[in-house]
Amino acid sequence: MVEFAIITPVLILLAFGITEFGRALYQQNILTHQVQAGARYMARVQNILDDSCVQQANWAAAATTAKNIVVYGDASGGTAAIPNLEIANVSITQEVRSIYVAAVDETISACAIKIHAEATFAGVFGAGITVPAIPFLGADSGISWGGFNDVTLNASTEERYIGE
């Protein structure tokens, strides 16, 4: 019984830690897939960039739709795919890249669209666990575990613009 009483808190903490880590990996995977979907959308929208990779008039509307795809998984909005992911945490940029094409042994310029998103991981335990005051001493135990709540999940990807 004594051995069980000593090892049980360690096993419970280990089980909850593994669960939280698994949830963090799951949310990271969702975020990565959402960012890739948004980049694929932006890469295929016609007439948002000109030949020199400069934004055109309908860039803003396409970017809003892509941000909705990243955050909600749907162009029209809804519920965020993961907690703490917001439109303000998604950035979309474009830049000219040099790409080597081995088939023709030539370097060409291509326009790449980059999307980056981040969100703070929302753990099951909220702000974490603090062991309450030790009885009869009246002082805080000083033992706390913040969980993974200080972890920022982020994902970035880029796609070559082909929407012309």
Say whether pLDDT at 164 is over 90: no
Of the candidates 155, 151, 157, 156, the residue with the CA atom closest to the CA atom of residue 24 = 151
Of 125 and 42, more confident = 42
152 Cβ partners below 8 Å, 6+ apart?
A: 118, 119, 120, 121
| 51-81 tens-digit pLDDT | 889 999 999 999 999 999 999 999 988 999 9
Give the confidence band of 141 by pLDDT, cuts at 50, 70, 90: very low
Look up residue 79 and give its DSSP letter.
Answer: S
> 46 φ, ψ to 5°?
-80, 145
| 79-116 tens-digit pLDDT | 999 999 999 999 999 999 888 888 888 888 889 999 99
Of 39 and 10, more confident = 39
Say whether pLDDT at 4 is over 80: yes
Question: Residue 151: what pLDDT?
Answer: 84
